[in-house]
Each structure stands twice: as C-alpha cells, then as structure tokens.
Structure 1
Amino acid sequence: MSDEMLSQDEISALLEENNINDVPGDQIDESKELLSPLEKDAIGEVANISMGSAATALYGLLDQKVEITAPEVSLSTINRLVEGYVRPCILVDVQYVEGLQGSNQLIVETEDAAIIADLMMGGDGTEPPSELSELHISAVGEAMNQMMGSAATSMSDFFEGNKINISPPNAELLELSSDHVDLEGISGDDDIVQVAFNMHIGDLIDSQIIQIMTMAFAKQLVEGLMGDNQEEEPEVEEVQPQQSQQQQTQVNSQQQQPQTQMRSQPQQGQPQQPSAMSPQPDVEVEGVEFEQLGGQLASDLNNDISLIYDVPLELTVRLGKTRMSIKEILDLGPGSVIELDRLAGEAVDLLVNGKLIAKGEVVVIDENFGFRVTDIVSAEERLKKL
C-alpha cells in the first residue's frame, strides 16, 4: 500500500464511483424500458381522443366551453405522485368492467371540483362553495361519470368495435396519501403511468386533471390502438411494386400467345379433338320472365290495414315542457309551480309512441280529462320529425 495521501478530488471520485456501483443496473434501465416512446405516443393518442369526447359531455352538463387537451404521458410512482398533492383533493375511482379490465383514478383539485359542483347545481361558478359537502361531491361524481362514460364509448373504436363500459365512478374528498391510491394492489414504489391533461372550463378553470393507471392497463390501451400492426408491417414492406402498364401488357401477350397456337395448330399424328376452348354450337337463349311483384294477392294484403288493428300504441298528451337545473329540481316541494313553454289556451300535442300526430285541446268528460282533436299534423311534417 502506498504511503501517498489521496487528494480531496480523488476521494470524491472514489465515493461517487462506489455510490453508482451500489445501484443495480437493471433498476436504472428498467424504468426507461417500461414504455417505449411509440407506446407513450399511443397512450397519449387514446387519451386525447377519449378526453375530447369527455369534454363534449361535460359541456352539455355545465353549459360552459370545455377544453381538455395536451395529454402528457410519463412514468411515476404513487409515492412521487402524492408528494405533489399536499392539500385535499378529489380522488375519482373508475372501474372498467367490460372490454377493458382494470381501474383508473382521476385527481381533481378541490378548487376546480368546487366550481364544477357549483355549475352542476345551477350556479355560475363565480362563487363556488368554500367547503365541499356530500351533495357537492356527489355532483362532481356525476360529472365524472358522464365524462368517463363518454370517453369509454369513444375508446370502443380502438378495440375493433368491442364495447367498453365502466361502473359508476366513486368520488371522495381526501388528504391524498399512498394508502388512498388503490390501483389493483400497486404499492407506493411500483411504477404507474401518469397522464396529465390541461383543463379549461370557460373563464373559470385553467388547471390540470391527472389520470393514473397501472402498467398492465396502459399496455391494454397500446394493444387496442396498435394491434398487430407491428407484426404485419414487414409483410407490407415485402410486397413487390406493381408492374407498369407496359410490362403487364407484355406479360398478358406472352400468356395469350401459347393459347392461340394451341387453338389453331393441333399436334401432328393425332386426330383433332374438340378442346375446351373450341367454339360452342349456337344455343337458343331466352330472357327470364319473373312474375310481377305486387300482384293481386300482394295488393290485397297491402290494402288490408285490419291486419294491424290489434297492435297496441301508446298515446301521450303533452301540455308543455321546460328545462330545469339540478338545484331547481332538488328545491321542488308541495305547492311548487313549474312554468311550461306553452301559453294558456294554446293547442297541446298528441303523441303516438313519442311521435307528434295531432294538436288539440284538453276537455273534461264526466270528471275525467279528455282530448279533443283540432288539427292533424300533415304527413310531410311527421316525416320531418322522424
């Protein structure tokens, strides 16, 4: 052993080398190989299209312009994810029960959830509740149900038309911890896939919504979008280029030449036999005559409407209609008055199996309500409403 003393730089270099050697090489490379860049792009594409449908569904509920765009796919762990959410948040658990098997979880910030709940309950979102009650959380859960249900429907297109279905999501207000994130038994240090979306709702929300899933579920999405394309791609590349029209004409000419010689020059020393290619004798050909469709019997059946006399139909008299928010419906009670979109004395509608066929007025017959027809809707108008 040398008596020379090591410098501080040499000691630091040795310590750094030992620290690197203490970390197994497989653990360093494993996280990089869990998802290839192509697989990340596939997951992002599925997420982008499905969340586009979810945004449309949310627009119908909130009556606000909704944009959920720019998915960013990354690998993380539950422990690292929890570190970014120290304050309470809404955790939405989504279970896929048909077409896909597994669970996703969505993380929505409390302030965003409060605005969504206020809009769902008839507010304008400018004065959201400071604290979320069970009713507010239930409203957020219903919004997530409509969003993810619409997203699941759009995802069916990636899975060869197989129906994708989810169970009603469960929304909870939580002080987020690793114990609350339950993805099929994934522990805090296991790798998960995190998809972050930019969410804009009118001028009220400019934030992010996080979707997390297991690695196995992410692989299902990749297979649903890409299928066996990677295996079939080499076969496509091996296909020879099509021949030019001139080359094809030459080949056809060469193929037709021997056939012509066979027809015109029988082999010597053999009696000439009629070949399969020789002309056939003239055959008398007549056109096929079919019986006229809609003869007398068919005409009699078509005109006999009595054949369907016993088919039951449902008749409904519609006084009017209106549109109410969830909050207004929840406030209904005995004595509440609902204003309809029809003036007093105006004709009411008669619907048969949900289709408008007549208009008239409500009358009283022996203490029972009745309907007097005043106008029959024309066939043209009925066709327009189909």
Structure 2
Amino acid sequence: MTNEQALLRLAASTLDAIRDVLETYAPGAVNPGAVAAVSPGTHPLAGAQTPAVLADVGYVDGVTGGNIMVIGVEGARRLAAAMMGGDPNEVEPGGELSELDFSAVGEAMNQMMSAAAMATSRVLGDEVEIAPPNVRLVTSSAEAEEGIEAGGLACTVEFTLCGAPCLLVQLVPHAFIVRMTRALDEMTESYESAPLSDALRSVPVRVWAEFGRAEMPSGRVVGLPAGALVELDREVDEPIDLYADGMRFAVGRLQVCEDGTLAIRVERILAGTVAGDDAAAADPTSPPLTSPEYKEVA
C-alpha cells in the first residue's frame, strides 16, 4: 500500500466518523466531496474559505499528528440551528454567528474531533488520545494557518453541511504513515492457507446491517412518541448492506428465523469499502451510496 493510498483510506474513515456525529444533529445534511493527498510544500489550509469556525487538535499519546476542522460561518449557523431543534434550511444567509451559536458548534466540533481520533485509532490498531480542541473564529486563510505546523504529510476532505462548504484536514507525520501502512497491509494481506492467525481470529469487530435511512429535523426526532413509525428509504425486499467496523463487505436479504428473530442471508461478498463509499462491485439493485471523489491537490 502506497503512502497516498494509506492517507486516502485514513481520510475516508475519518470522514465517516465525523459524518456519524453530524447526522445526529442534522440527518441527511452531510454530502462528502473530494478526498485528497496534499502536495509537499503546500499548506493544507491554503485557500480555506473564511470567515469560518476552526477547530484543531493534536495527538498526545499513541501517535503524533492532528486534525483540523473548518466550518464556514453559514454552515456553523445552520448546524447551531439544527442542534437547538430548528430547521437549518430556514436560517437566513448573511447573519452573524452569535455566542450561543459558537458555543453549540464548539461542542459539536469537540465531538467530531474525538470521533476522528477514534477512527484513526481503528485504522492504526493503536490507542490515540487528543489534547483539548482549540476552537476559534478565523476571518482569513492567513489567520487560519497561524499556529498550524504544515510539516510532514497531510490529506484533506471536502464536504458540505446543510449546503455550506466544510474542510477536514489530517496532519500525518512520516513515521505515522509507516505504522499505518504496515497495519493496513497486515489487515489486507492474503494467504494461501488460513487467512487469519489465531490472534486475529479472536479480535472482536462490530458488525451491523443497514436496512435504510430517513431524513427529518432533529426537533421532530426528539419529539417522536413511543410507537411512532419512521419510514425508511428502502422496500422490505430490497438488498441490505452489511458492515464490519465501518467497512461495507456484503449485501444480503432480511430473513425471519423460526424463533421469530431476524437474520441476514448473505448473497454477495464485496471488496471491502469504507462505510458510505459506493463500491464498484456493489449489487446493482442496491441503493447507491455517496462516494467521495479521489484526487490530488496540486
């Protein structure tokens, strides 16, 4: 696995973790964009859209490196509205970010940075701890770059939140890439005999099935009464996606067991893809999942 492939894999995994956090506040409001490895000598925040709320954290244990999240003021105002039970689409453009809005967005960004560190930990197979995030309002790209060391490697992920542009940056030292590449190679190495050692066979992984999705305002979600029905975007007989620790690995069909419990009959094994990616080998009848566009920043 090349350095660039490892960077893109890490970035895609981190985006999924951050999207999970944002989906709790604004379901369906996150749309991923380009995932890129930053060219050497280029500051990853060069050209960042401002004014914006910027949060940056550094790793303090396990590995070195850090994450940076940039959310434009318009996106921050919409996220704050969603967090407080409002409709982000009804936020009038051009307004200022209030102290209450800034506080709400700061809390969400703290959660996103923690989720990003956990995603990095899963990819590396090692515990990653972060320092308290530094959240600030920046009015120019030069101000955003202040205090951000651009040495080593970096990757960026562009996405929109409620239609507003956002940017995720991961600062990755060369030593970290060596460790991560080795870990990923061990995870994907193929064997002629048993594919997993005894030690790896005992490692627990989280497996889940995605039956479908629904989009609704957070205010309605918290107000759902017991017994309410939430309509999903798939029919009961459509294929169901299976994931293992964020990797979409199979497509199956819902089955009812003799004792009344539910199960999934696996119909097709896919090439492992990060949750949210649209695998090229996906079942043609399966609803498409949004996939980031991979490119290199010049």
Structure 1 unaligned segments of length 5 or more: list them: 1-36, 243-323, 329-338, 343-386
Higher strand proportion (structure 1 or 2): 2
Q: How does 1:299-310 map to 2 (within 5 A)?
A: none
Match among 57, 61, 70 for residue 94 of structure 1: 57
Q: Within the alignment, does 1:134 sit opposite 2:102 as a pair?
A: no
Q: Does 1:48 align with 2:12?
A: yes
1:170 is matched with 134
**1: distance between equivalents of 2:7 and 2:123?**
11
Distance of 2:143 and 2:40 partners within structure 1: 16
Does the 8 Å contact 1:103/1:183 carry over to 2?
no
Q: What aligned pairs does 1:73-152 form with structure 2 within 5 A after superposition?
A: 73-75=37-39, 77=41, 81-82=45-46, 84-85=47-48, 87-128=50-91, 130-152=95-117
Does the CA contact (< 8 Å) of 1:54 and 1:150 recur in 2? yes
Q: Distance in 1 between matches of 2:34 and 2:128?
A: 23
Structure 1 CA distance, aligned partners of 2:84 and 2:40?
35
CA distance in 2, matches of 1:41, 1:229: 10
Q: Conserved in 2, the CA contact under 8 Å of 1:78 and 1:191?
A: no
Deviation at 1:39, TM superposition (A): 0.7
**Secondary structure, counterpart of 1:44 in structure 2:** helix
* CA–CA distance in structure 2, aligned partners of residues 77 and 64 of structure 1: 36
**Alpha-carbon contact 1:78-1:181 (below 8 Å) kept:** no
Please point out which of 145, 157, 169 is paired with 1:196. 157
CA deviations over 1:54-80 (Å, ceiling 9, x no partner): 211211133445343541222265668
RMSD between aligned alpha carbons? 3.9
1:205 equivalent to 2:170? Answer no
Cα distance, 1:170 vs structure 2: 2.4
Structure 1 residues 80 and 144: alpha-carbon distance in aligned structure 2, compared to 1, 3 A threshold: closer
Deviations 1:168-210 (A, max 9, x none): 3222111124354245655xxx6762413233x4xx3263424
Contact in 2 for aligned 1:49/1:154 (Cα 8 Å): yes
Residue of structure 2 equivalent to 1:222: 177
- Aligned-residue offset at 1:123: 1.1
- TM-score normalised to the size of structure 2? 0.54
- Counterparts of 2:23 and 2:49, CA distance in 1: 30
Check the 8 A contact 2:8/2:35 in 1, yes or no. Answer: yes
Q: Percent of aligned positions with the same letter in both sequences?
A: 26
What SS does structure 2 have at the residue aligned with 1:115?
A: helix
For CA contacts below 8 A with separation 6 or more, give which structure has more relative contact order: 2
Whole-Å Cα distance in 2 between the matches of residues 229 and 115 of structure 1?
A: 37
Distance 1:58 1:86 in 2: 20
What per-residue deviation string (whole Å, max 9, x for no partner) do you get for residues 222-268 of structure 1?
2332127889xxxx99x9x99xxxxxxxxxxxxxxxxxxxxxxxxxx
Residue 71 of structure 1 aligns to a residue in which SS? strand
How many Å separate the matches in 2 of 1:131 and 1:52? 29
Q: 1:261-300 maps to which residues of 2 (within 5 A)?
A: none
CA contact (8 A) 2:52 2:139 kept: yes
For 1:79 and 1:229, the matched residues in 2 are separated by: 27
Q: Which residue of 1 aligns with 2:280?
A: none
Equivalences, count: 197
1:7-22 mapped onto 2 (5 Å cutoff): none
State how far apart, in whole Å, the 2-side matches of 1:137 and 1:169 are. 14
Note if contact 1:62-1:116 (Cα within 8 Å) is conserved in structure 2: yes
For residues 76 and 194 of structure 1, do their structure 2 counterparts lie closer, same or farther at Cα, with a shift above 3 Å needed?
farther
Which residue of structure 2 aligns with residue 355 of structure 1?
none
Higher helix share: 1
For the pair 1:158 / 2:123, whether they are aligned, the reply is yes
Give the TM-score normalised by the residue count of structure 1: 0.43
Partners of 2:80 and 2:181 lie apart in 1 by 37
Determine if contact 2:2/2:181 at 8 Å carries over to the other structure.
no
Structure index of larger Rg:
1
Moved more, 170-179 or 122-131: 170-179
